[in-house]
Structure 1
């Protein structure tokens, strides 16, 4: 199962829609917030199913702040991250993911790419496609088969 993971689109989601349209092997979209309406628009434009959570800038959209998603035998904790102090520490998001018996925690908020395993939890932040704070706009292709494979796609 191939999943496109993005976050913090803040109204600029064209590159995500374009990628999905050009790559018919993408099965699902996961959006980690600050773009709930963008996720809905991407789904409308591409016909893809999606999961999305509210971010700290999703003022007028209705979504959950946290979700647990079961995909391909893996449990994924999806959150924007602002409620877990991800700018300062990963301890709170790791603790929450562990309490939910998740394998992966996907988050956004910092606009910086993260792909690291800490205390048994794979932490993933796709950065932002158009407003990266690490200088590299993009998203993640998250592939679940027997293992988890993460491929970062840069668009700047």
Structure 2
């Protein structure tokens, strides 16, 4: 299975269009798109409301099954994700999520905690910490592979987590 994840595009339709054109089983946007809920660019994209989104039709969170994985997505601002992962972690446990997608910090990263994969794809337009604009591709079979890619579609870093099948 393969999913594409982006976040914090802040009105930049060009990057949303480029990333959403990639082949995947599902495409996610973790909020702060600053687009309208009914923008045709967002067709077939699972998306949540970020703290900079003004269209209140976006949901605060999304739960989607992709293959055998339950994916929970939020923006992260309501879960204090810039300071700690604990609110995301505890809520993921309550939901029985296998993968948690979130943005808000504009900084990419991936972590496996007690069998739950947490991925922040970074920002497609306004990265922080001197990093380049990124999005994430997540693939899984027996292992998780998370590819953080720049807007030239080049891999910046790859994270591989082995032996995750039915880990929890």
Separation (CA, whole Å) in 2 of partners of 1:89 and 1:116: 13
* Cα pair distance change 1:129/1:142, threshold 3 Å: same
User: What is the CA-CA distance between 1:59 and the residue it aligns to?
Assistant: 1.4
Which of 146, 150, 153 is 1:154 aligned to?
A: 150
Cα gap change, 1:72 to 1:124, in 2 (>3 Å) = same
Where does structure 1 lack aligned partners over 5 or more consecutive residues? none
Q: Give aligned pairs, total.
A: 150
Aligned counterparts of 1:69 and 1:146: Cα–Cα separation in 2: 20
Per-residue deviation, 1:61: 4.0
RMSD: 2.1
Unaligned runs of 5+ in 2: 153-168
* Higher deviation after alignment, 146-155 or 93-102: 146-155
Aligned to 1:92: 87
Cα distance change on mapping 1:66 and 1:146 into 2, 3 Å: same
Kindly report which structure 2 residues correspond to 1:75-86, keeping only aligned pairs within 5 A, or say none: 75-86=70-81
Give distance in 2, aligned partners of 1:5 and 1:36.
16
Higher relative contact order, structure no. (Cα contacts within 8 Å, ≥ 6 residues apart): 1
Residue equivalent to 2:48: 53
Runs of 4+ aligned structure 1 residues displaced above 6 Å come to none
Deviation for aligned residue 1:43:
3.8
Q: Which is richer in helix? A: 1
